[in-house]
A and B are shown apart, each in its own frame.
Chain A
């Protein structure tokens, strides 16, 4: 039995269904992200776990206890909000100790716990400051401390970093993951930023329009996306349309040039249209080639020197493809207009569902 079980949860409003048939089992101490665009239902699901929304169907169990319809103040889950939600009339210390004061813990215990929490978020001297005196990053750390102070069974974070600048986001997410590992607390993290989800999570739940698209580790989600949505939402992707030539061999024509896919064309019929996807890092320029690779001939359209990575855009007859290659001081990037051949393995070809209209 998993620690957190979300079993067939559905949330229906008068005109729309926000979440449909959500099933997930989370192990104790696991860090799971809900990833998806706005409106996909990830925040609604989180709020149902917290108790701010009531599911119209399904059950939620924490450590075996059914909490589906329990009031939010009796669930012992800790929530960190996007807007920090620190109580403006209380100092940092009072904010962090709030949950313990409500539970009527003795003053000494509260003081100790607050100190502990402030040390955990590395802000031990800010106890007597007010929220309006803190920066955004500091406020969010205090919010985290406040949620953790009550020793919750599950930690819920609702896009906690989206209101902060890029630099702070990166450092804070490392810190959050570090604290989570240290405490071993089961965590659900909602975000629309795939870099965050990929770098922090044990597993990711990709959602779209109220439904789960795929559940898997970051490695699985990125390298083996199961649907076109997941493939295009996570990481950059080159999408090309082709026409199936020989499904048995895995042959497909792209821009009149034949390529072979290692898998994914079973069940297709010759002449059918299919979308294939290629990750930029799986495409190389002809110079570093091996046998058995696919080849496509085209011209260099654009070159972006990004420092450690060089991103090149190659144009074929109807498509263009982005290609990422590591910077090599001994090999200058190609010039614009130069004819080149790109190579990629048969296994790198991701066949997606057929486009609408066949």
Chain B
């Protein structure tokens, strides 16, 4: 282009931002990162680092070793068992419920109703949930009384107790199942009708379709969400506190007591306890994300 044909351009208005990377954008996100540092990263790191220190601040692995004492180990064991039980129960029942609403041929209105209810129920956890189950399955609860009066069955005499491992798992499922429904519903939507038809066309029965096509496609999501449910239950404390108090010695209750009153008589051991929790929930969530990525790659 010759100089003679170059057009004189007016100077750009000052409102347009400079093209350099050090622009307003960086300033704009600083508060977020400061917040993240102060209230997410630093506190967690502090605990993680502290678990490798002794009271004088020297590096030690003693705290981690001390985690393997019988009482703390049994505490982790109970937590793992309750979380696993409520996760598996929640996963299976949640999957069935999602299947029924989306693929079961039920009236159309059931699906949005179920999803809305799941949205609410997945947030209905903690103290009120414990109260609800106490009022229903406690010693003087509605269902307990109904079973005695109508069917002559006394579940408490038969050995059931809400304030126990199974009672807690049952209560946890009240928010585990909805969470599973909320995550499985879009996944089930992703099962295209043509796959079902193609499978039938090639000779597969309904059972064979599920066995060879649908479940293999869904298993990363199923497994991943189960792990998510597991981590969810592992970190919960309010429901347990309100329901079983300190009678069921899960890790979160132990940690609660430790924070309140240093029951372990060793601050750094408390940090180690927290670190153990983070490792378990962190691994579960990482596995969930990895599995989700895998299934997304197939379904691209």
**Interface set of A (CB-CB < 8 Å, partner B):** 50-52, 71-74, 76-79, 81, 83, 85, 87-90, 98-99, 101-103, 130, 132, 146-147, 150
Contact = CB atoms under 8 A, between A and B. Distances in A.
Contacts of B217: 87-89
Interface residues of B, number: 21
B195 A73 contact: no
B204 A81 contact: no
B146 to A, nearest CB: 43
Given A102-B202, A132-B297, A132-B298, A52 B197 contact: yes
A143 to B, nearest CB: 8
B42 interface: no
B4 to A, nearest CB: 38
Contact of B201 (A77, A87, A103, A132): A77
Interface stretch (B99-107, B180-188, B205-213): B205-213
B175 to A, nearest CB: 30
B300 interface: yes
Nearest to B198: A85
Given A146-B202, A150-B203, A72 B298 contact: no
Contacts of B213: 87, 89
B195 A87 contact: yes
A51 B202 CA distance: 12
B156 to A, nearest CB: 48
Nearest to B218: A89
Top 5 nearest A-B pairs (CB, nearest first) are A99-B202, A85-B194, A85-B198, A73-B200, A72-B200
B201 A102 contact: no
Given A83-B192, A150-B203, A132 B198 contact: no
Contacts of A50: 197, 201
17 contacts: A51-B201, A52-B200, A72-B197, A72-B201, A74-B203, A81-B197, A83-B192, A83-B194, A85-B197, A87-B199, A98-B199, A98-B202, A98-B212, A99-B203, A102-B199, A102-B202, A130-B298
B192 A85 contact: yes
A281 to B, nearest CB: 40
Contacts of A88: 217, 298-299
B216 interface: yes
Nearest to A131: B298
Contacts of A99: 202-203
A103 B197 contact: no
Interface string B259-300: 000000000000000000000000000000000000001111
A132 B195 contact: no
A98 B212 CA distance: 9
A98 B202 CA distance: 7
A156 to B, nearest CB: 8
B204 A73 contact: yes
A73 B201 contact: yes
B203 A103 contact: yes
Nearest to B205: A73
A77 B195 CA distance: 16
Nearest to A82: B194
Contact of B195 (A76, A85, A102, A147): A85
Contacts of A101: 212
Contacts of B197: 50, 52, 72, 79, 81, 85
